[in-house]
Amino acid sequence: MGKKLLLANAHVPGIRSYEVYRREGGYRSVEKAFKMSPADIVEEVKKSGLRGRGGAGFPTGLKWSFIAKPEGVPRHLVVNADESEPGTFKDRYLMEFIPHYLIEGMIVSSFALGSNVSYIYIRGEYAWITDILEEAIAEAKQNGFLGKNILGTGFDCEIYVQRGAGAYICGEETALIESLEGKRGNPRIKPPFPAVKGVWERPTVVNNVETIAAVVPIINDGGEEYAKIGIGKSTGTKLISACGNINKPGVYEIDMTISVEEFIFSDEYCGGIPNGKRLKACIPGGSSVPILPANLLLTTAKGEKRMMNYESLADGGFATGTMMGSGGFIVLDEDQCVVKHTMTLARFYHHESCGQCSPCREGTGWMERILKKIDSGKGEMKDIDLLWDIQRKIEGNTICPLGDAAAWPVAAAIRHFRDEFEWHVLNPNACLLRNYGLAHYADPVHVPASA
Partner 1 sequence: MADEIKKEPPANFKVTIDNITIEVAPGTTILNAARTIGGDVTPPAMCYYSKLQGSGGKCRTCLVEVAAGSTADPRPMPKLVASCRTTVMDGMIVKNITSEKVKDARAGVVEFLLLNHPLDCPICDQAGECHLQDLGYEHGKEGTRYEFKRRTFEKEDIGPYIQLHMTRCILCYRCTYVADQLTEKRVHGILDRGEHAEISTYISKAIDNEFSGNMIDVCPVGALTDKTFRFKNRVWFTKPVDAHRECTTPGCCGKTTLWLRGEEVFRVTARKDQWGEVQSFDGKPGWICNTCRFDKKKTGDWTIEGVTKVNRHSVIAQGHYEGLVTPKETVQQVLGGRAPRLLMDIHDESEVNRNGVHLSEINGPAHSDDFKKDQ
**Residues at the interface with partner 1 (CB under 8 A):** 167, 169, 184, 189, 350-359, 361-366, 369, 386, 392-394, 396-399
Number of Cβ within 10 Å of residue 191's Cβ equals 8
CA dihedral for 367, 370, 375, 381, sign (positive or negative): negative
Minimum distance from residue 405 beta carbon to partner 1 (Å): 14
Residue 187 contacts by C-beta under 8 Å, 6 or more apart in sequence? Answer: 169, 172, 174, 175, 178, 354, 356, 399, 400, 402
Distance in angstroms (rounded) separating the CA atoms of residues 373 and 127: 36
State which residue, 86 or 293, has the beta carbon closest to partner 1.
Answer: 86
Q: Which is nearer to partner 1, 16 or 369 (CB)?
A: 369
Rounded Cα distance between 416 and 441, Å, is 10
d(CA 44, CA 235): 13
As measured in angstroms, the least distance from the Cβ of 385 to partner 1 is 10
Least Å distance between CB 188 and partner 1? 9
Query: Residues of 254-263 as b/e, b for ≥16 C-beta within 10 angstroms?
Result: bbbbbbbbbb
Neighbours of 432 (CB within 10 A): 12
Q: Helices 402-426 and 358-375 meet at what angle, rounded to 10?
A: 20
Q: Least distance (Å) from partner 1 to the CB of residue 74?
A: 23
Residue with Cβ nearer partner 1 (247 or 397): 397
Tell me the closest approach of the beta carbon of residue 244 to partner 1, in angstroms: 27
Please identify, using beta-carbon distances, which residue of 5 and 399 lies nearer to partner 1. 399
Complex with partner 1: residue 50 or 390, whichever CB lies closer? 390
CB of 198 to partner 1, least distance (A): 16
How far apart CA 383 and CA 360 sit, in angstroms, is: 19
**Residue closer to partner 1, measured from CB, 72 or 182:** 182
